[in-house]
Amino acid sequence: MTDLKRSWVDSANSATCQFPLNNLPYGVFSIGAGPHRCGVAIGDRILDVAGLESAGIISFDGTLQSGIWNSFMALGQSHWRRLRHELTGLLAEDSDRQADIEPYLVPLKEAALHMPFEVAEFTDFYSGRHHATNIGTMFRGADNALPPNWLHLPIGYNGRASSVVVSGTDIQRPHGQLKGPDDEVPRFGPSQRFDIELELGAIVGQRSRGPISVQQAFNNIFGYVLLNDWSARDIQAWEYQPLGPFQAKATATTISAWIVTALALEPFRCSTPEREKELLAYLQEPGPMLYDIELEVGLRPQDNSETVICRTNYNEMYYSAAQQLAQHTSSGCPMRIGDLIGSGTISGAEKNSLGSLVELSWGGKEPIELNEGLRRSFVEDGDTLTLRGAARGNGYQIGFGSCAGTLSAAK
Ligand code: MN
């Protein structure tokens, strides 16, 4: 386990700080009516790296001027390492550059945060074993819970890049075509079973054409964000067979504003759980490619306090993002810079470690208890759902910031 790297930015040196020098997550911010700028979080500040590049203190082919991280990603892994290395040097406690760098620090609380990258395409997987078993049991019965392919390959569906929004964006309850098991005919109306899915999103930082190995896939992943795959369960139940989710998942997907890089997560690598069936060679991992990241979900009803409704860990996933990406390219599917790969809902084995409300309330049959005597089966109008995540080192944490959204009433 690695130790805290100390910075001359004092607020970055506390064990509770989400953005110590070990982290250096990438985001896009603006101040007032100013333009979108690439920035890096350090303690309670944002380092304006676009400004650093303009001043000639760092140099990355002008890519940091674009107000979005895609063009920097395109430079490739040696540049990803070099930026991290140079920023670590400039911000380290023993740096002699403090006076040069200090003018480029902006208080985090004064900044508005925006989409950190342009989502090229969005794919969502279904790689949490407990989640797949729970959903399968509810939708198809315990005997057919896990589809026959599930232990042999990571399954997923192509989602909508246009639906991905940054943390803090309001979500509106969708309408959809609904037909419950006892309804004779379908009707059109607001979803009554609107839900969340706690996921991690992997960001593809390099183009590929044709199949790539799991190792190459791992190398091509730039970083990770928290991801909430908002899901209308009643729309989903009626529409999903045989082609999978469609409008149930198209309303919105929220991501956190900070990209935590794969390089920052390096000390927290861990193996996927033991295989029940041996995987075909093209899906086998050459080393640990999952991460130990603690995750939680908070639910705050309007005008009330928040209750943490789920605590789990990314190390529960049966397939890593590298395996998912290798599977995604196995047919020759080209991948683009900024492709977003959702992990699938991350549920643990325990009742309080389930990453969606449909699991927590078991299809609405067992509402969960919140503070102040409130109960929930699904998301209600005015509820704010917040995902949080942290990898924990010796006296520090690699935080993801928050991934929050508030549901407003259907219009
Ligand atoms: Mn999902």
The pLDDT profile of the chain, 411 residues, written as one tens digit per residue, is 799 999 999 999 999 999 999 999 999 999 999 999 999 999 999 999 999 999 999 999 999 999 999 999 999 999 999 999 999 999 999 999 999 999 999 999 999 999 999 999 999 999 999 999 999 999 889 998 999 999 999 999 999 999 999 999 999 999 999 998 899 999 999 999 999 999 999 999 999 999 999 999 999 999 999 999 999 999 999 999 899 999 999 999 999 999 999 999 999 999 999 999 999 999 999 999 999 999 999 999 999 999 999 999 999 999 999 999 999 999 999 999 999 999 999 999 999 999 999 999 999 999 999 999 999 999 999 999 999 999 999 999 999 999 999 999 999
Q: Is 131 a catalytic residue?
A: yes
- Say if CB 200 and CB 314 are below 8 A apart: yes
Which class is domain 10-114? mainly beta
- Say if CB 123 and CB 328 are below 8 A apart: yes
Q: Where does the chain hold its CATH 3.90.850.10 domain(s)?
A: 122-408
The single residue of 114, 130, 131, 328 carrying the catalytic annotation is 131
**Cα(134)–Cα(41) distance, rounded to whole angstroms?**
37
How many contiguous H segments (helices) and E segments (strands) does the chain have? Answer: 10, 26
Residues 6+ apart with CB under 8 A from 243: none
CA of 228 from ligand 1 middle (Å) equals: 8
Residues 6+ apart with CB under 8 A from 13: 4, 6, 7, 20, 43
CA of 219 from ligand 1 middle (Å) equals: 24
CA of 343 from ligand 1 middle (Å) equals: 7
pTM: 0.98
The β-bridge partners of 386 are 298, 404
Which class is domain 122-408? alpha beta
Q: Where does the chain hold its CATH 2.30.30.230 domain(s)?
A: 10-114
**Cα(13)–Cα(21) distance, rounded to whole angstroms?**
8
CA of 128 from ligand 1 middle (Å) equals: 10
